[in-house]
Amino acid sequence: MEEAIPSTLIAEQNEKLARDLHKDYDALGEKLSRTGLDIEQLTERARTFELAVPSWGAGTGGTRFARFPGVGEPRNIFEKVEDCAVIHQLSSCTPLISPHFPWDQVEDFSELKQYADSFGMGWGSVNSNTFQDQPGQAHSYKYGSLSHTAAAAREQAVAHNLMCIEWGRQLGSQALTVWVGDGSNHPGQQHFQRAFERYLDSARTIYSALPDGWEMHIEHKMFEPAFYSTVIQDWGSNILAAMELGDKCKSLVDLGHHAPNVNIEMIVSRLIQFKKLGGFHFNDSKYGDDDLDSGSLHPYQQFLIFNELVDAEYRQQDGFGPAYMLDQSHNVTDPIESLINSAAEVQRSYIKALLVDREALNNYQENNDALMASNTLKAAFNIDVSPILAMARLRSDGAIDPIAAYRASGYRAQAGKKRPASGGSSSGIV
Ligand code: RM4
Ligand code: MN
Ligand code: MN
């Protein structure tokens, strides 16, 4: 197996921190045992927690104003695989890469799969891109793709999604994620119903091409690039489309795609109830689709979302099994560091949600004890589970302190030498 970072370096780094970690771990274990929680079981759950990393997140992002490239950015999907392998090696919870096409298109997908295999990396959901025009493309997506007024543009967008399924099949992926930028910028520009009908028509053709065992995940987003209306604007339009298409089509929740203050955890609960929760794009935001690092602003909201997910696990809700993924853009940090941090923050929310005393919560809910119900959630949220996360990493050959180990490895400086800037801006979202 290829090592993205020498395992000897990680072991050396861990050695310095292991004694203190064991003390903290034992102390936390003792504290948790007082409420009947077994730290060993929690650590095992942390070890089995998996999250996919977006290939495009490995490059530096940007805004429509500017992009400030970082040192040693990956210039192609092979280099993105290397960076994703670093993230997984140190965090031990991101064994999957989610590719975006045509950004990650290659001649030979078996070569790409082999390369990822050599690092022990697999492939998550494949993402299609019909929100940009590619050089030489016959029909423009300026006025939409799957819902375009022109049949030829719609057919081209459908054909691209079918190619994405085929490429994903070759990589061993099992889901297609479709996000379209389709919508309008002016009142009256688009007939809402006709646009949605055209979208559904196109989506049906894609749905019918899903291989066995595959799911199609559709993602809603309230604005951008269309600023007046979008065809799959919110979870309402999303679930309607998913219901129209069939059981294998589910809704994907990108945390940044809602209006500020929207109760996302309740949306999650509804989607779970109707077996329509396909997966997540985790990130954080203050104003809109900011793509900030997970848990950097609203860790409690992220915890409340996981409270719903763990509740579904606890109740063994039928048809529940969402795919977890990060979807972020890093403009001012080293993307590898941001993705490592974010993965740990998502995993943290999961472990904290496992601490919730569900029986007590249920009793408080049944007896309308609002204050104690809320305190029950807060009690779990307020426990620092860092020693569990660190122990899970240590036991999976990851790093106790992944950011420190990454910095000690000098990976970024080496990448800077190996990957001179290409001058293009293929990485990151501009
Ligand atoms: C969109 C959406 C999609 C992602 C693109 C790059 O806002 O979040 O999931 O593929 O950005
Ligand atoms: Mn997304
Ligand atoms: Mn987004």
Q: Is the CB of 104 within 6 Å of ligand 1?
A: no
Å from CA of 344 to ligand 2 middle: 19
Q: Whose CA is nearest to atom 5 of ligand 1?
A: 179
Å from CA of 44 to ligand 3 middle: 32
Contacts 24+ apart (CB under 8 A), 209-215: 209/162, 209/165, 210/165, 210/176, 210/248, 211/165, 211/169, 213/174, 214/165, 214/174, 214/175, 214/176, 214/248, 215/174, 215/175, 215/176, 215/248, 215/249, 215/250, 215/278
430 residues of the chain, pLDDT tens digit each: 899 999 999 999 999 999 999 999 999 999 999 999 999 999 999 999 999 999 999 999 998 899 999 999 999 999 999 999 999 999 999 999 999 999 999 999 999 999 999 999 999 999 999 999 999 999 999 999 999 999 999 999 999 999 999 999 999 999 999 999 999 999 999 999 999 999 999 999 999 999 999 999 999 999 999 999 999 999 999 999 999 999 999 999 999 999 999 999 999 999 999 999 999 999 999 999 999 999 999 999 999 999 999 999 999 999 999 999 999 999 999 999 999 999 999 999 999 999 999 999 999 999 999 999 999 999 999 999 999 999 999 999 999 999 999 999 999 999 999 999 876 555 556 5
Å from CA of 148 to ligand 2 middle: 21
Q: Is the CB of 219 within 6 Å of ligand 1?
A: yes
Å from CA of 74 to ligand 2 middle: 20
User: How far apart, in whole angstroms, are the C-alpha atoms of residue 102 and residue 105?
Assistant: 5
pLDDT of amino acid 319: 93
Nearest residue to 43 via CA among 402, 398, 385: 385
pLDDT of amino acid 423: 63
Which residues are CB-contacts of 385 (< 8 A; sequence separation ≥ 6)? 28, 42, 348, 351, 352, 355
- The answer to whether 117 and 92 have CB atoms below 8 angstroms apart is no
pLDDT of amino acid 120: 98
Atom of ligand 1 nearest to the CA of 289: 7
**For residue 392, what are the CA distances in angstroms to 32, 386, 398, 401?**
16, 10, 8, 12
Nearest residue to 86 via CA among 28, 5, 177: 5
**For residue 195, what are the CA distances in angstroms to 130, 161, 189, 226, 430?**
16, 19, 11, 13, 27
Burial class (CB in 10 A: 0-12, 13-18, 19+), 208: exposed
- The answer to whether 424 and 135 have CB atoms below 8 angstroms apart is no
Match 């996981």 to its residue by tokens: 306
Q: Is the CB of 326 within 6 Å of ligand 1?
A: no
Q: Whose CA is nearest to atom 7 of ligand 1?
A: 289
Q: Which ligand is nearest to the CA of 129?
A: 1
Mutate to test the pocket of ligand 1, among 327, 328, 426 (most ligand atoms within 8 A of CB): 327
Q: Is the CB of 82 within 6 Å of ligand 1?
A: no
- The answer to whether 378 and 304 have CB atoms below 8 angstroms apart is no
* Structure-token pair, residue 324: 């977890």
Q: Which ligand is nearest to the CA of 284?
A: 3
**For residue 154, what are the CA distances in angstroms to 138, 151, 206?**
12, 5, 11
Mutate to test the pocket of ligand 1, among 221, 258, 325 (most ligand atoms within 8 A of CB): 221
- The answer to whether 57 and 330 have CB atoms below 8 angstroms apart is yes
Around Cβ 398, how many Cβ atoms within 10 Å?
23
* Structure-token pair, residue 316: 């063994």
Which residues are CB-contacts of 41 (< 8 A; sequence separation ≥ 6)? none
pLDDT of amino acid 406: 98
